[in-house]
Amino acid sequence: MDSNASSYLLNQAQYYLGKEDSNIIDLGLSLRTLQPEAYYPSTNGENYEVLVDWQHLHPQLKRANTLNPRNVKANFDKELEGIQSKKRWTYVKVNMDGVIVGRKICILENMDYLSLALQLEDMFGKQTLCGLRLFQGESQFSLFYKDKDEQWRAVGDVPWKQFAERVTRLRITRKDI
């Protein structure tokens, strides 16, 4: 046993009565030294009766918590900004046949089909023995996308820029061999 470890004990569970049903239970999960008086000078709960609400001590903080129309408008503007930024960054869900959990990726992080294939290989390539090898002739998998018209199409049939603007979902499927 470590010599430092011998000077520590687990606290015992204690129950302190507070005022107005605000009782405190110490489960004793923290470590304490062998001199509990230094850290717990009173275990009878008398000190908990004299606790003062922080808002009584700092009335200006209490006023800051009240709803101010300017604060509400600022919060609304921040939420709206978040929604607009989500539209700028096109995240699409990617699913693979046989894999329960899908993933989301940002299409705009990729510059072309090759970088998209590499990102999908990193995410889903470990699900198979030989990897996905998307866009290669010997690959066992095909990549399809759903466009804004809700039509499923093969990835690579349109230029990258048009694809990035229209894609709403991706699906990796096994080729029929």
For residues 96 and 42, state if they share a domain: no
Mean pLDDT value across the chain: 71
Q: What is the CATH number of the domain that holds 113?
A: 3.10.20.90
For residues 44 and 109, state if they share a domain: no
For residues 34 and 96, state if they share a domain: no
The DSSP code sequence of the chain is --TTGGGEEEPPPEEE--STT--EEE---SEEES-HHHH-S--SSGGGGG---HHHH-HHHHHHHS--HHHHHHHHHHHHHHHHHHHHS-EEEEEETT-S--EEEEGGG-SSHHHHHHHHHHHHGGGSSS---TTSTT-SEEEEEE-TTS-EEETTSS-HHHHHHH--EEEEEE---
For residues 96 and 161, state if they share a domain: yes
For residues 37 and 93, state if they share a domain: no
For residues 47 and 93, state if they share a domain: no
For residues 112 and 35, state if they share a domain: no
Q: Give me the phi and psi of 49, to 5 degrees please.
A: -70, -25
For residues 32 and 104, state if they share a domain: no
Query: Looking at residue 98, what is its pLDDT?
Result: 86
Segment 51-85, tens digit of pLDDT: 555 555 555 555 554 555 555 555 555 555 554 44
Tell which wins on pLDDT, 18 or 35: 18
Domain boundaries, position 168:
89-174
Segment 87-136, tens digit of pLDDT: 556 799 999 998 888 999 999 999 999 999 889 988 888 877 778 888 88
Examine residue 113 and state whether it is found in any structural domain, yes or no: yes
Examine residue 168 and state whether it is found in any structural domain, yes or no: yes
Residue 26 — very low, low, confident or very high, per pLDDT cuts 50/70/90?
Answer: low
Examine residue 125 and state whether it is found in any structural domain, yes or no: yes
Residue 145 — very low, low, confident or very high, per pLDDT cuts 50/70/90?
Answer: very high
Examine residue 83 and state whether it is found in any structural domain, yes or no: no
For residues 155 and 107, state if they share a domain: yes
| Of 120, 96, 97, the residue nearest 107 (C-alpha) | 120
For residues 40 and 108, state if they share a domain: no
Number of domains in the chain: 2
For residues 46 and 93, state if they share a domain: no
Residue 153 — very low, low, confident or very high, per pLDDT cuts 50/70/90?
Answer: very high
Q: Give me the phi and psi of 125, to 5 degrees please.
A: -65, -25
Q: What percent of the chain has pLDDT over 70?
A: 49
For residues 93 and 151, state if they share a domain: yes
Query: Looking at residue 157, what is its pLDDT?
Result: 92
